[in-house]
Amino acid sequence: MAEVAITSVDVKNNPAPFADEIELEVQYECLTALKDDLEWKVIYVGSAETEEHDQVLDTAFVGPVQPGAYKFTMRAPAPDAGRIPQGDVVGVTALLLTCSYQGKEFVRVGYYVNTEYADPALIEAPPEKPLLEKLQRNIMADHPRVTKFHHDFDNEPAPAPQPVEGDVMGDDDDGMALDEMGADDDDEEEDEASADEEVMDD
């Protein structure tokens, strides 16, 4: 059983203009006290061809964590369109919410993101260079892809990790209910934390 279990993720401000911030309200439970911080990241996949264009939009360090239920919000800036291949700005990509402990990822929640023009004329005849101010971003919050990885946390090492993937449907278009999670490495850059955490009442 994993020591940390995500219980829900609520995608706020969605759909929204491409340049607006991305807001995720995360709820999770911790079953045992953890010595170190949990590291949460919001990652925008810039291209399906290579990870070179992935952008870490926000990083939050939370902890040390005691047993209990918690809720916090990550507010990430919009991706830098200049770092996305021009042909990949419009269309379908992915947004990732990851959590790591002691530098090792143990859960990843992925969402498809559809970026398109709201103006029918621009949909019919899109400009060669994307007009960012005209683009609308829609995170498919009701169809997350959850990948869990084995993690020993503060226990003795166990056998080799076995990733498990699955779809988890939400109760509405902007949220989802998740079962317990459990690690993989992620070598992205570390930004300042922007999470406001609170302990939830039972």
User: What DSSP letter does each residue of 48-112 carry, written as one string?
Assistant: SS-GGG-EEEEEEEE-S--SEEEEEEEEEPPP-GGGS-GGGSSEEEEEEEEEEETTEEEEEEEEE
DSSP reduced 3-state for 168: coil
Question: CA-to-CA distance for 59 and 74, rounded, in angstroms?
Answer: 8
Residue whose entry in the numeric block shows the structure tokens 């084995």: 150
Question: CA-to-CA distance for 72 and 29, rounded, in angstroms?
Answer: 12
**What pLDDT shows up at residue 167?**
53
Chain length of the chain:
202
Q: Which domains, from first to last, does the chain contain?
A: 4-189 (2.60.40.1490)
Q: Which residues contact 124 (CB under 8 A, 6 or more apart)?
A: none
Q: How many Cβ atoms are within 10 Å of 136's Cβ, its own excluded?
A: 15
Q: Which residues pair with 110 in a beta bridge?
A: 96, 145
Residue whose entry in the numeric block shows the structure tokens 């939830």: 200
Determine if the peptide bond prior to 15 is cis (ω within 30°): yes
31 and 7 Cβ atoms separated by less than 8 Å: no
**What pLDDT shows up at residue 154?**
80
Residue whose entry in the numeric block shows the structure tokens 């498919």: 140
Question: CA-to-CA distance for 168 and 178, rounded, in angstroms?
Answer: 6
Question: CA-to-CA distance for 75 and 62, rounded, in angstroms?
Answer: 14
Parallel, antiparallel or unpaired: strands 195-199 and 68-76: antiparallel
**What pLDDT shows up at residue 200?**
53
Question: CA-to-CA distance for 53 and 198, rounded, in angstroms?
Answer: 33
**What pLDDT shows up at residue 78?**
98
pLDDT along the chain (202 residues), means of 10: 87 97 97 95 94 97 93 97 96 97 95 97 95 97 93 71 53 40 40 46 48
